[in-house]
Structures are given as C-alpha cells and as structure tokens.
Amino acid sequence: MNPIIELKNVFKNYGDKQVLKGINLTINAGQIIGYIGSNGAGKSTTVKILCGLIADYEGTVTVAGINLSDNPIEAKRKIGYIPELAELYDVLTPMEFLSLMGELYDLPTDIATDRIIKMLTAFGLENNIHQRMDTFSKGMKQKVLIISGLLHNPDIIILDEPLSGLDANSVIIVKDLISKLAKDGKTIFYCSHMMDVVEKVSDRIIFINEGMVIADGSFLELQQQQGNESLEKIFALMTAKEGSNQAASAIMQAFDSQ
C-alpha cells in the first residue's frame, strides 16, 4: 500500500532557529493520527507544510502520491484543513461563504448546495443559513469552518484544535464524525492539546518535541513503553515536563499572605 502522506527528512528554519530537525513520517489511508507537541515543538509548522502554507522547507513531502513542491495546487485538492481560529469572510452568510468554497473546489452548484444545507442542519444551524456571520458566536463560526474543510469530500483531513469554541453536543458530533470519516477511508491528521480526546479518537499517536519525533505508536503501545498511564502523563514523562505540579504549586503560593 502506498502511503497517503509521506515526509522524508523535512527540515525547517525560521532565521537561525531550527524548528523541524529531520521529520520522517509515513501515514496510510484510513489512519487517525494524533499529532501532539508542546508550544514551539514544531507541530503547527508541520501542519502548515502539509497544507502548502509553507513552501521554503528542506526535504520531501508527498500527499496522495503528489510531490507537494512540484504540484502544490493538485495536492491541496486532496486536503481539507480545519484550523483552530475561524477566519471567515464574516460579512457573508454561511450559504454565501460555503458556496464560494464549493466553487473554489469546482463542485457543481447543486451538489455543493445540497451538502451545505445538510451539514449546516446537522450542526443545528438550519435557521442561520442566510444570516450574516459577523453576528455569530465563536462556536457557530467554528462549525462553518469545519464544514468548509469537509465540503469537497477530501481524502485527507487536517484538524488543528478543531473543537475550539464548540459546545458539548457539537464536540460529540465531531468526535463521532472523525471515526466515521476514517471508516470511510479518509485519513485524519489531528493536532490538539486536548489529550483525552486524542487518546480516545486516535489509532496512532505521534509525539513531536523540539522539532523531532520522539514517539510513534498506538496508545496501548505507548502505555506498554511508559507504564499504564494516561496519555497526558506519558507526554509529560517523555517531554520532561514533570515540573508541572511544582509550577502549579508555585503559582498558588503567589496568593499566600506576606
């Protein structure tokens, strides 16, 4: 089986700062990848490279058999990207914005409209289809953003903190949706700091730390290597963040009377 995503010796510098230090990943279709790293570890940079938002990297990135450097537009057609922040043309309505997204992906108008109405309704936005989005809450905008990333039925779905701002019911919908998309053969690349969610939805978890992959396996395999611990605890052990409890105690001491 040819991998759906492959990174070979990927390096990236920002000036004198080396952010990625030779990332090698091979991901097959239908996998749910949990990609975890602390701030500054290189997680977001990896995502931006995969999405074609950063082009000046070293190494080779292949998406659905397409070399990202050689044909970035065709590679991007295979990807649905859902970032954390809902950056939308919020003077538009959901129907107007999502119709524009459909046109960018060359979707026939009738197919795009049918998908838009069905997905907005599933997220409880059926009464807001023609309402300007500058009146929307953060969670409502996030739902529209999720739909925009899925509208063209991509083979690869990259989620970067997709649950930001969502209510509890919508979080459940997205978690169930991730599982169903993977069963349908989609590849999910899921980045989040919500490790309890990553632990539950991922069938493969990758830790990145200081620009390098330091662990790669199922949650069960990581537990076997590090002891019967939660994913959060395993991450703390592997990234030497054992001082978190002491840090929390030190913060509480700031409230102590002099």
**Angle ∠(144,170,77) on CA atoms, nearest 5:** 40
pLDDT at 235: 85
Question: Hey, what are 3's tokens?
Answer: 């991998």
- Cα separation, 190 vs 70, in Å, equals 25
- Cα separation, 10 vs 43, in Å, equals 13
- Residue 49 CB burial class (10 angstroms; 0-12, 13-18, ≥19): buried
Q: What is the pLDDT along the chain (258 residues), one digit of tens a residue?
A: 689 999 999 999 999 999 999 999 999 999 999 999 888 888 989 999 999 999 999 999 999 999 999 999 999 999 999 988 767 888 999 999 999 999 999 999 999 999 999 999 999 999 999 999 999 999 999 999 999 999 999 999 999 888 888 888 888 898 899 989 999 999 999 998 788 888 888 999 999 999 999 999 998 998 888 778 888 888 888 876 555 566 667 777 777 755
Looking at this protein, which amino acid is placed at residue 216? D
Closest CA to 187 of 166, 171, 202: 202
Provide the Cα torsion 128, 141, 201, 79; round to 10°: 100
| Ordered domains of the chain (ranges, CATH) | 1-78+185-241 (3.40.50.300)
Contact 157, 185 (CB under 8 A): no
**Which SS3 state, helix, strand or coil, does residue 146 take?**
helix
Residue labelled with tokens 């295979």? 78
pLDDT at 180: 92
